[in-house]
Chains A and B, each alone.
Chain A
């Protein structure tokens, strides 16, 4: 079974530019999550999709971040325009079902550096 895949693995862009991160969850997993880890801090929740619907986007930092999951398969996270504080590792995770303590499976992450 293929795991959660993320693309790109690394991205280096200048402040003000736009970057789009992609996540392909494990096939059949309805739940898809985006997280971010800023250097020296804990991994923090950004948002949660159930199929194509945003279940919870309370962790999104501001309106420069836009996440989509058209068709309920892969998801994209766009940052526009990027700011220096957006640098970090962006993880995607997926899980089956809802509630009941289903563990999440993580992708390798995208390391985003804003110059």
Chain B
């Protein structure tokens, strides 16, 4: 079983739509959680950390459900520039980071 699982998509949504991605992780002792964004042939870039109480950054909202071991990312009012692959990343107790395969999003004009 993979440490981190994501629906690879692709998600194709119109501009202005709201889209949500989910991610599940297998290690209940995992410590920290992140969403990264990766554009085609570029490096992963931190989008936001995910906190237990949930957190919001502009149009982006991240939620963590420790009981069910899943993390979500909600993007409101999608922009063309949001098109990218979104990576769910989980850090375990040994400070090792595990990546999901990524969810592909394309925002259509």
Interface residues of A, Cβ cutoff 8 Å to B: 4, 33, 35, 41-45, 48, 55-56, 58-59, 91, 98-101, 103-109
Contact = CB atoms under 8 A, between A and B. Distances in A.
A24 to B, nearest CB: 14
Given A99-B31, A101-B49, A103-B49, A45 B43 contact: no
Given A41-B101, A106-B44, A55 B95 contact: yes
Contact of B99 (A43, A103, A109): A43
> In terms of DSSP, what is the predominant structure of the interface of chain B?
strand
B73 interface: no
A42 B46 contact: no
Chain B contact-residue range equals 20 to 34
B99 to A, nearest CB: 4
B91 A42 contact: no
9 contacts: A41-B101, A42-B2, A42-B4, A42-B99, A45-B96, A101-B31, A103-B34, A103-B49, A106-B45
B46 A103 contact: yes
> In terms of DSSP, what is the predominant structure of the interface of chain A?
loop
Q: 10 nearest interchain CB pairs?
A: A101-B32, A43-B99, A106-B43, A42-B101, A103-B46, A42-B99, A108-B43, A106-B44, A45-B96, A109-B43
A56 B44 contact: no
A42 B43 contact: no
Contact of B95 (A44, A48, A59): A48
Interface centre among A42, A45, A104, A107 (most CB of B within 10 A): A42
Nearest to B47: A103
Contacts of A45: 96-98
A44 B99 contact: yes
A100 to B, nearest CB: 8
B1 interface: no
A99 B96 CA distance: 10
A110 to B, nearest CB: 11
Given A104-B46, A106-B44, 20 more contacts: A4-B43, A35-B99, A41-B101, A42-B100, A43-B44, A43-B99, A44-B99, A45-B97, A45-B98, A56-B95, A58-B96, A91-B44, A101-B32, A101-B49, A101-B91, A104-B97, A105-B46, A107-B43, A108-B43, A109-B43
